A and B are shown apart, each in its own frame.
Chain A
Amino acid sequence: GAVVSQHPSRVICKSGTSVKIECRSLDFQATTMFWYRQFPKQSLMLMATSNEGSKATYEQGVEKDKFLINHASLTLSTLTVTSAHPEDSSFYICSARDLEKSGGRSTDTQYFGPGTRLTVL
Chain B
Amino acid sequence: GQQLNQSPQSMFIQEGEDVSMNCTSSSIFNTWLWYKQDPGEGPVLLIALYKAGELTSNGRLTAQFGITRKDSFLNISASIPSDVGIYFCAGPRNQGGKLIFGQGTELSVKP
- Real complex partners, A and B? yes
Q: Name A's interface SS.
A: strand
| Across-interface contacts of A115 in B (CB, < 8 A) | 40-42
- Cβ of B42 and Cβ of A112 under 8 Å apart? yes
Question: What residues of chain B lie closer than 8 Å to A1, measured between beta carbons?
Answer: 44-45
| A62-70, A78-86, A101-109 - the one binding chain B | A101-109
Inter-subunit contact A6/B42 (CB<8 Å)? yes
Contact, CB under 8 Å: B101 / A44? yes
Within 8 A of B (CB), among A70-121: 91, 93, 95, 97, 99, 105, 107-115, 117
The reply to whether A109 and B48 form a contact with Cβ atoms under 8 Å apart is: yes
Chain B residues 13-52 with CB under 8 Å of chain A are 31, 33, 35, 40-45, 48, 50
Chain B positions 45-62 with a Cβ under 8 Å from a chain A Cβ: 45, 48, 50
A95 to chain B, nearest CB (A): 8
Cα distance A49–B86 in the bound complex, in angstroms:
24
